[in-house]
Amino acid sequence: MRIALILLTLVLGAAAVYPLSYTGGSIDPIRIQTRVGDENRYEFHKEIQQAVDMDSLKQILEGTSYRAAKIEWQHPPKYQLNIQSEQYYVWYTNGYAEIYKPDTHLYSKLDLETSGKLGELIQ
C-alpha cells in the first residue's frame, strides 16, 4: 500500500512539473526545414526538443485565427514544419509571419509581436 502511494505521488508530482503530453517521450521533436535558394527544395534547419519551446510554438500556431483560403505564392515558403502530422508553411514579409496549412487550406497573418516570437523559435 505504501509503495503504491509513493508511486502515485511521484507520478502526480512529475505530471505537475512536466506537461503530460511530454512525459515518456510520447511527442516527437518538431523538425523545421528551410528553403534552399529560390527552388522548392528544403533541408533540415533545426529541431525543437524543449517542452517549453514546443508548447510556445504550438500555442502560436494553434492560437491564431485562420481563414479558409487557397493561396498561390510567387515563391515557396521559407520554412516548413510538421507538428503531429499537421503541416505548416511559413513566409516572412516585412517582419510579419504568414502561415498556411496546406492540408486544410487555412491561412493566417500574424501580428508583428507574435511574428517575432515565432521567428525566435524557428529561425
pLDDT in tens, 32-87: 999 999 888 999 999 999 999 999 999 999 999 999 998 888 899 999 999 888 99
pTM: 0.76
Predicted pLDDT of residue 59:
96
Residue 17 located in a structural domain: no
Domain tally, the chain: 1
- Mean pLDDT score of the chain: 83
Residue 23 located in a structural domain: no
Q: Where are the alpha helices (DSSP H) in 1-123?
A: 2-17, 51-63, 112-122
Residue 43 located in a structural domain: yes
54-82: b (≥16 Cβ within 10 Å) or e: bebbbebbeebeeeeeeeeeeebbbbbbe
Predicted pLDDT of residue 38:
86
19 pLDDT exceeds 60? no
Residue 18 located in a structural domain: no
Q: Determine what percent of the chain is predicted with pLDDT higher than 90.
A: 67
100 pLDDT exceeds 80? yes
Residue 16 located in a structural domain: no
Q: Which domain holds residue 85?
A: 28-122
Residue 22 located in a structural domain: no
Predicted pLDDT of residue 26:
52
Residue 88 located in a structural domain: yes
Residue 19 located in a structural domain: no
